[in-house]
Structure 1
């Protein structure tokens, strides 16, 4: 194949002319690209520092910073190819379709993500709190983006989706510094109520973990067919709650035994209808 020198010269001149005409666009596009990457890095660093100062969870900080980083990078890339003269309308349409498809396929995960963000922002509980939610209870070990990790009292690990957890009722037993125990002790009708109450009050006063303010309350709760029910309500610091709960029951039983008072056992009450049916 014979090449015409004049033809080669024409191609070379055309290439050089195109290169000269296109150089300003290419140079400005790459300037935008490199300057944009530098600015994005600064913005990302500033946002991370701001979220850390606001004591946001490390997991949420990293996740939100990464989302911001890639969003800005996509915007920068679209601006870069647009500056090069490439049509971006079809590219943006493809990105939109991909985003819609991903959003539809990850509805549950996005709901859990949104729930995790709400939990971390509004802080109905934090790591170390003992909570109850979605029918389970335990100590919060970790608040992840999609799930919250609980450790139960019998050392079982439970993962609760953040979407359902944030939309349901949450009982935080650790948010307040003090808690009240609600106990019920049943005595027979032959027992002197004042004597029983005095014994219980003495037991509560002898326990240093029972708070004096607010004062503990001992009162008649109910009169059933088989017993007198006394409500015993001592206050304790949250970390001492279960110890006070157990000690109160044990010490009251021992004090009643020493005083010759018998705790009335629970008697199941049958209606007359049931008695007729059984007979």
Structure 2
């Protein structure tokens, strides 16, 4: 290559660089300013979600999604500023997003269900709930599943999509709970005496709340017995103890009063 050719190529390169330098500088400015702005936006969003007491797992997940979405948008803007066609690139991203969405339909449903649970709070960690035929205490609300522990210490993972679309009974939300018990006595027994005995048992139990007041009333007159409804109220923490103690103490009190307890049968 002759010196004249080298000088010509050099002059052409310098001319192109001079023409393109402003575009390159502006693109780099957009890139660096954009990265700084994305970091600020991400921190601000995290602080807002923390102040609104959103679940930490959901906060991190949503913040990461926002971070990568802004980064992809910045990258597309950067290469567009450099003069590189972005139509094909955007089409590829759209096709990839569609493919991933179709392959993860179940997971996306569970993710949406997890967000609904965390935002609307039908239950929280520590609550005892009944859902999908399971009665258990919520141990952890994850993005895709809810982790629960049953009374016999079995760990159950329920998909959030199924959980959020089904019926949920929250036994802990109200703070107080009523035990619904039934005692059956023979027709030879004194109804008033039996009622007084049962009420006395409830009033003597310190775990039974007096507000709302415990109730004892005739629930049904069956073919072979008089059925009493016994309904004590208790704090959630004392519910199990009140249930079992009431069963035991009422049976003992009725026996001591000479009132025969009959087997309770459900009337169909």
TM-score by length of 2: 0.97
- The alpha-carbon deviation at position 225 of structure 1 amounts to 1.4
2:124 is matched with which residue?
126
Q: State the match for 1:19 in structure 2.
A: 17
Tell me, in whole angstroms, the C-alpha distance in 1 between the residues paired with 2:30 and 2:229: 74
Cα-to-partner distance string for 1:51-87 (whole Å, 9 max, x where unaligned): 0000000000000000100000000000000001100
Out of 98, 112, 116, the position equivalent to 1:114 is 112
2:185 & 2:17 partners in 1: Cα distance?
A: 101
Query: What pairs up with 1:207-222 in 2 under 5 angstroms?
Result: 207-222=205-220
How far apart in 1 are the matches of 2:221 and 2:138?
A: 40
The one of 233, 236, 239 aligned to 1:238? 236
Q: What 5-or-longer segments of structure 1 have no aligned partner?
A: 272-279
**Match runs of 1:60-209 below 5 Å:** 60-209=58-207
C-alpha spacing 1:226/1:115, structure 2 compared with 1 (3 Å): same
Deviation at 1:268, TM superposition (A): 8.9
Moved more, 199-208 or 11-20: 11-20
Tell me how far apart the structure 1 counterparts of residues 83 and 173 of structure 2 sit (CA, whole Å): 58
Q: How many residues align?
A: 268
Using the TM superposition, give the Cα deviation of residue 266 of structure 1 relative to its aligned residue in structure 2, in angstroms. 4.1
Is contact 1:226–1:267 with CA below 8 Å preserved after alignment? Answer: no
CA distance in 1, matches of 2:143, 2:253: 51
Q: Displacement of 1:258 after TM fit?
A: 1.3
Going from structure 1 to structure 2, the CA distance change for 1:267 and 1:214 (only over 3 Å counts) comes to closer
Deviates more, 1:17-26 or 1:139-148: 17-26
* Partner deviation per Cα, 1:197-221 (whole Å, 9 max, x = no partner): 1100000000011111111111111
* 1:188 and 1:226 in contact (8 A); partners too: yes
**CA–CA distance in 1 between the matches of 2:266 and 2:18?**
99
Looking at structure 1, the residues matched to 46 and 202 of structure 2 have their Cα atoms a distance apart, in angstroms, of 51
Measure how far apart 1:8 and its partner are.
Answer: 1.5
Aligned to 1:184, the other structure's residue is in SS state strand
Q: Following the alignment from structure 2 to structure 1, what is the Cα–Cα distance between the partners of residues 102 and 265? A: 57
- Supply the distance in 1 between the matched residues of 2:193 and 2:97 (Cα, whole angstroms): 73
Higher mean Cα deviation, 225-234 or 70-79?
A: 225-234
1:15 & 1:215 partners in 2: Cα distance? Answer: 93
SS at match of 2:261: coil
1:267 is displaced (CA, Å) by 6.1
Contact 2:227 2:264 in 1 (8 A): no
Equivalents in 2 of 1:149, 1:136: separation in Å? Answer: 12
Give SS of 1:213's match: coil
> How much is the aligned-residue C-alpha RMSD, in angstroms?
1.3
Change in 2 beyond 3 A, CA 1:90/1:268:
closer
